[in-house]
A = this chain, B = another copy of it.
């Protein structure tokens, strides 16, 4: 069975519309391609109650077994992610020696001393492993619990992406062995509402994920992109299924008088 994941983005700047949450897009794409089912993306503020409620919702209501958080790991007083995670899982927040050393050596090489704000970044929930930050300074948090595996990453995209690729991805890849094949086709001349019955039929016939995306205007200049995703333990089987369903849809679309296929089926 596909394992469920939830992405928890932490930071008031997201709730005030000052930052576009591209981190969640990046992580959700990665998780999907690694064979996880992303059940939700949740953004909350730097607030103990709300972070706790969101973790509870993710784990208990949605059944997440993988939780990835971003944001709130920095040196300022409102960076409370580590402490909020510790509180939710009833762990102590302790000085992690490995994390301390990572931080100390970075500041030392720049001739800077450790201050209270810098030491703060080494306080992790008891039992965590620090995730090395090759780009910035604040380490991430890897916490493996009985039911849930949690990764807390910084909110700065470059740091987050480097840490995801270098540390998180190999661990997640080892947990699944799911292969994904994705494909598209594009059709002009028929509004989305016109091809809806055909899509419904194909979605019923094959065990695939299928979604139409209107690109221009529904009535005036209809252009619809249809996305298909198939999964299997074997890559070749996923691809065959994707192609079979896509070509079946394409043939059905060709029976519509106004339809012009402007991009034919391709599956990765």
Binding site for B on A (CB under 8 A): 9, 12-22, 24-32, 38-45, 50, 53-54, 57, 61-62, 74-78, 106-107, 110, 112, 115-118, 121, 136-137, 156, 191-194, 196-197, 199-200, 203, 209, 211-214, 217-220, 227, 229
Contact A220 B39 (CB under 8 A): no
A71 nearest CB across to chain B (Å): 11
Cross-interface CB contact of A62 among B29, B39, B53, B209, cutoff 8 Å: B53
Q: Which residue of B lies closest to A74 (CB)?
A: B192
A218 to B102, CA, bound (A): 14
Contact A15 B41 (CB under 8 A): yes
Contact B116 A18 (CB under 8 A): no
A17 to B182, CA, bound (A): 13
A42 to B107, CA, bound (A): 37
A216 to B226, CA, bound (A): 40
Contact A136 B217 (CB under 8 A): yes
Contact A21 B21 (CB under 8 A): yes
**Which residues of the other chain, B, contact A194 by a CB distance below 8 angstroms?**
115, 117
**Which residues of the other chain, B, contact A110 by a CB distance below 8 angstroms?**
219-220
Cross-interface CB contact of A12 among B17, B74, B78, B209, cutoff 8 Å: B209
